[in-house]
Structure 1
Amino acid sequence: MTSAQLQNIYYERKTGTPRPCYICNRPTQTVLSTLKTEDFLYTCDGHLTDPASPIAPSATATTGPTADDIKKVISDYHSREARKANKDKDKDQSKDGDGEKDRDKDGAKKNLGSPSTSTPSTPTVPVASTPPVPTHKKFALHRHIFEMRKTELRRKEQGAKAKEVSKGMPQVPRTSF
């Protein structure tokens, strides 16, 4: 049964043809629909922005890190890598002349390691410059309107089920007495 799985989370979308608003019957192109489009209703933009309206914006939770969080983590990572490289340099300088070959090998390892640290910094610039993906606004219906929607869907399902069952039954006689 679809109505049992229905959640009170609706997303705002625009349509091409205006239909009457569910609340006031004025023509509107704004439609609120569930994620899988199990239920939808047309509503005016005024009802979506009015705080006293039975349609309220849903509480939004942050789904992922913001651009500032990403930049902060990247800068922390680069600062740790720089400190680590400085410590390695200090260790190499503190060694007595135990062999210039070892220093050359360590220097080669550092040179190999430094391009790898600079390589991640170049891809991060295009990632940060991409525009954010637009998302649809979330809304939640008032509990009474949501119950009306569930009842309406349940009634439609029962009507469809009754038609399906009645196909297998014999027809009523149509002769007069």
Structure 2
Amino acid sequence: MASFPNVYTHRKVADTASKACEICFKPSTSVLVTPENKDFFYVCPAHLKEKGFCSPIIDEAAVAAKKKKEMDAEVERVRKEFEEKQKKKKDKEKEKGKDKDKDKKDDDKKEKKPEDKKPDEVTTPALDEEPRVFALQKTFYQQRVDKKRNAEIAKRNRERLQNPNLFPQVPKGFP
């Protein structure tokens, strides 16, 4: 039997498909699955945070790409804000002769609106920070391998017992 790698992906299932956690036997909708679906088991999300059970596998390339994308978006946003401020400054110089009080009040209102949007942008990326790929600790991984091996041995034994050639034949002649 070829054993499976110690790389498990965290997946969610529907509430109706929840089964008992392998550790605490409480109903859980979280499943850890190997890449080729050779092994899977239900586990509570709280156990995924325990250092004694598993450790997250962090893909450095994906993290770097995500940071670069966020930086590009931030640069673009700052560039647009700067262009808008420059445009407002030019408009303000043109309308300087007109009602100065109205322009100042309008500018104050416009400047407050973008600041209100900034906290919302900060909270949305925080939701996706949970790792999805894990490596089990040595003892738990060995338990999974042993359980899989024992199930395969039991299946082979059942097949052998169903084979009529396994048992010896009854003697047909007289002694």
Q: Shorter-chain TM-score: which interval?
A: 0.5 to 0.7
Q: Secondary structure at the match of 2:151?
A: helix
The corresponding residue for 2:57 is: 58
Local SS of the residue matching 1:56: strand
Report runs of 4+ in structure 1 exceeding 2 Å deviation: 63-69, 169-172
Q: TM-score, normalised by structure 1?
A: 0.52
Unaligned runs of 5+ in 1: 73-133, 173-177
Give % identity: 25
Residues 43 and 64 (structure 1), Cα distance of their counterparts in 2 relative to 1, 3 Å cut? closer
**In structure 1, what is the equivalent of residue 78 of structure 2?**
none
SS in 1 for 2:23: coil
1:39 aligns with 2:39: yes
Alignment of 1:14 with 2:9, yes or no, is no
1:1-177 counterparts in 2 under 5 A?
A: 1=1, 4-16=2-14, 17-50=17-50, 52-62=51-61, 66=65, 68=68, 137-169=132-164
Letter in 1 for 2:26: R
What's the C-alpha RMSD, in Å, of the aligned pairs? Answer: 2.9
With the length of structure 2 as denominator, give the TM-score of the two structures: 0.52
Give 1:8's aligned amino acid: N
* Alignment coverage as a number of residue pairs: 108
Report the AA paired with residue 140 of structure 2: I
How many Å apart are 1:155 and its aligned residue?
0.5
Report deviation, 1:65.
Answer: 7.2
Deviates more, 1:58-67 or 1:152-161: 58-67
Extract unaligned runs of 5+ from structure 2.
73-127, 168-175
Q: 1:155 to 1:64 in 2, by over 3 A?
A: same
